[in-house]
Structure 1
């Protein structure tokens, strides 16, 4: 699995003489078959066949066609037999189809994926429980659950009912407060870039208000579902939101560049 250390090591690598092949391949089984992405691989390698060694080309083809287990949605491969370099990252998020040959690994696409999906936390909360799911590059790394004080429901009417309702509200608030404290401790340990919340709207709103900065500032959105949702559904919903966040960030950067250029031309 890709880590920040991997990114730093690749970014620091530079060869004064040998060429380094950087290849990104979309292998998302939701969108294509094995034959389709294998054909895309051949087209990519054909583009640079006069720039890479036969050993590098065959190593990449052998891995994708014979060794890759099909478990990811994207592949990033860095190869230079002259340097003894062979790094493969199977990613839980899709990548564009790209190929580049140079003296340094082309890590910009990986860096962008890390910015979008590197470390994020999903918090599914209700009035008695919270379920935390921590992801790195779209892969689930750790889960944590907290069961709070039970809330007893009563059918009594009149003044007694109001008193019981106040007690239930107090219990629910204490549970949410403990859930928020657990989330803060978890965030301080894992340092996620984004937080995603799930649960009933009123509960999520109250929980969000209990989160201090900077963690409340890192909330990227809410996902449909609750603490009982299937992990695959949670992952898919989270990735969809983060894709939207990344698109919005890119649009904002483009708008800022256009505005700056327009001001510079005046």
Structure 2
């Protein structure tokens, strides 16, 4: 995949025309369907709107841990998913259509295997023109699903409130912008600049050199800052991490950021300007994990401080708060899963298997394998913030009171 870019010379100014050109090229990056994408909240909302009553939507999840990356081990796992599904299809035409879609996915995996992440997901429907391939930061369970809508429920476990970063590598010649979840990055934009000092020193009087170099660097810093803000906005990034080999360029960049964007700068990392994406992911990970731990601990502490009137602790109180739409922040140990019950009438969730809904009295209840997954989905639908607790310090704070909690509206 070619990364969209703009070039900035010593003669450029940050004009509305240049801004429009950057926005257009950034959207090109967002619309690319041929590369493995990181899932953003926008992508998730887009998938949630897809519906195809007359044509099946195929959803495929495949774990790609280290064991699956040895040789062609992933092929055996993929085949074990596909074969049983096809055997269930009696209609010959429908089966052939699925065979073709499964083959497209397999060829894609063979030709462009994800180099990062713990898994991949595909959402495919040829009549709709739907083709979405995602690199997953977490190992979600293998699965194949066919229906009128994409099966996106497992993806809610990737939507942690404090796991959406924008990474910026600043360079006077070649600045790069990435979106990232811990361990995975996707390059979405580049800004190419001139070797300003060398270029100007060959063309201008010495007594004007310092002034022109300063002005040119300020323009470049302004462009870089505005691109960073647009990437934060377009991809709904939560934090900004910056790598800069030249302190002066970092200072100029920070000065040009808006106040709101500066508040999202959460630290720094160090990496060579032309590093491969996997090297960028590795270099940024320690800083990202430090941010994640800090924010997880702060979230759990806010819930502790809000108790007892504005917080819910434990599975049952938290699920009850969800059922009445009171959850503002939903926190859960990312390792926690539990079977339970869902009411088909009022959509309430319960941690035990019941024959009748305690909330509305309906007998239209069904057992579910993981009530936590459904709770995360419900919290997202209610626009609650999600905190999937993964750090040891925050997990211990949560474990002392229950594996699930909520800050209430």
1:244 is aligned, of 289, 303, 311, to 289
2:260 is aligned, of 207, 211, 214, to 214
1:20-169 alignment to 2 at 5 Å? 20-27=57-64, 32-33=69-70, 35-45=72-82, 54-55=95-96, 58-68=99-109, 69-73=111-115, 74-79=119-124, 84=127, 87-91=130-134, 94=137, 96=139, 97-99=141-143, 101=145, 102-108=147-153, 112=158, 120-125=166-171, 129=172, 131-135=174-178, 138-146=185-193, 147-149=195-197
Task: State the SS of the aligned residue for 1:24.
Answer: strand
1:196 is aligned, of 241, 255, 259, to 241
How many angstroms apart in 2 are the aligned matches of 1:204 and 1:30?
43
Partner of 1:187: 228
Deviation for aligned residue 1:208: 6.3
How many angstroms apart in 2 are the aligned matches of 1:254 and 1:19?
41
Q: Which consecutive unaligned segments of at least 5 residues does structure 2 have?
A: 1-32, 199-208, 305-310, 319-409
Deviation for aligned residue 1:12: 0.9
Which deviations, in whole Å up to 9, do the C-alpha atoms of 1:29-71 show, x marking residues without a partner? 8961352112222343467567766346523542344454134
Partner of 1:158: none
TM-score of the two chains, using structure 2 as the length reference:
0.44
Check the 8 A contact 2:58/2:144 in 1, yes or no: yes
Q: Which consecutive unaligned segments of at least 5 residues does structure 1 have?
A: 151-166
Quote the RMSD (CA, aligned, Å): 4.9
Query: CA 1:45–1:7 in 2, change beyond 3 Å: closer, same or farther?
Result: same
Query: CA 1:23–1:209 in 2, change beyond 3 Å: closer, same or farther?
Result: same
Q: Larger deviation: 256-265 or 90-99?
A: 256-265
Q: Larger deviation: 243-252 or 71-80?
A: 243-252
Partner of 1:160: none
Pair 1:10 & 2:47 matched: yes
Check the 8 A contact 1:196/1:223 in 2, yes or no: yes
**Number of aligned pairs?**
243
Query: CA 1:90–1:250 in 2, change beyond 3 Å: closer, same or farther?
Result: farther
Deviation for aligned residue 1:262: 2.9
Deviation for aligned residue 1:105: 1.0
